[in-house]
Amino acid sequence: MTSVRPDPAQVQALAARLRETGRGGAEAASGAPLSLLHVPTGGCGGCRLELALLFEPPWDSGRHGLRLVTDPRHADVLVATGPLARNAAGALLRAWEAMPEPRFLLALGDCASDPAPDGGAPYALAPGGVRGLLPVDLALRGSPPPPGSILLGLLTLRDAIRGRAGPAISR
């Protein structure tokens, strides 16, 4: 149950993506907290249970400049969990469109990360999953990933946005 860092290839690709799309650097480097909006897209709820732990002790991710919000208009990062139910696609898209630029998308867990997610019937799941609908900036594998891995992923994203590398955390 050790915490796993996102693999280096993915982190490099993330940095390149942020440069290309002009979404890193100045504004984000101000030190303002990174606000996360969780949008469950049709999973078992396991990722939500682990994500929720991060915002209470002993993780207390507020001290790392991370916080949860419930309104897309105040969010930097959309955290999608689940294989993307067709019934959830509209809500996901509306939440994404309501977020101010620059905005970032984290696919949390195997279901949201996989371009061909399993775990449901074809009539109910959108083909291509979350990736089929929106551009994913960082994907964290695991079913669900343990809190430490989620935190490492979020800090990787935070630092990439701020134009720095390599998070160091302690619990």
Partner 1 sequence: MSGAVPPRGLFPHDPADGIRNLRREGIRHVLDGAAWAQLAAELGGRLGQMRLLALWAEASGQVHALFHPDRTRPLIASVPTEAGRYLALSGPAPIAAPYERMVRDLHGFEAMHARDLRPMLDHGAWPATAPMAERPGPPPRGPEPPEWLPVEDETLSLVETGPVGALEGLLRTRLAMRGREIAAAEWAHGFGHRGLLAALQGRDTEDAAALAERLAAGATVAHAVAFARAVEQATATEIPPEAARIRAIAGEAERVAAFLATIGDVARAAGAERLAARAGALLSPWRDAMGAAFGHRLARLVVRPGGVARALGAEGAAALADAADSLRRSLAGFARLQATSLAPVLEGLAVVDGERAVRFGASGIVGRAAGQGFDARRLHPQAGVPVEASVAEEGCAATRLRLRLRGIEEAAVRLVALLAVAPDGPARVELGRARGEGIGCAEAPEGEAWHFVRLDAEGRVASAFLRDPSLPHALLAADVLRSTPLAQGGPPAAALRLSFGIAIEGLDL
Interface with partner 1 (CB under 8 A): 1, 37, 39-46, 48-50, 52-53, 55-59, 70-72, 82-83, 85-91, 94-95, 119-125, 143-144, 146-147
Q: Tell me how far, at minimum, the Cβ of 80 lies from partner 1, in Å.
A: 11
Q: Which is nearer to partner 1, 24 or 148 (CB)?
A: 148
Q: Which is nearer to partner 1, 7 or 56 (CB)?
A: 56
Can you tell me the distance from the alpha carbon of 45 to that of 122, in angstroms, rounded to the nearest whole number?
A: 20
Which of 58, 166 has the CB closer to partner 1? 58
Smallest Cα–Cα separation from 111: which of 93, 97, 132?
Answer: 132
* CA-derived radius of gyration, the chain: 15
Measure Cα distances from 5 to 8, 44, 161 in Å. 8, 24, 17
Closest CB to partner 1 among residues 11, 113: 113
Q: Which residues contact 13 (CB under 8 A, 6 or more apart)?
A: none
- For the bound state, the minimum distance from the C-beta of residue 16 to partner 1, rounded and expressed in Å, comes to 30
Minimum CB separation from partner 1 for residue 43, in Å? 7
What are the Cα distances from residue 15, in Å, to 24, 48, 124, 163?
8, 26, 34, 8
- Minimal distance in Å, beta carbon 27 to partner 1? 24
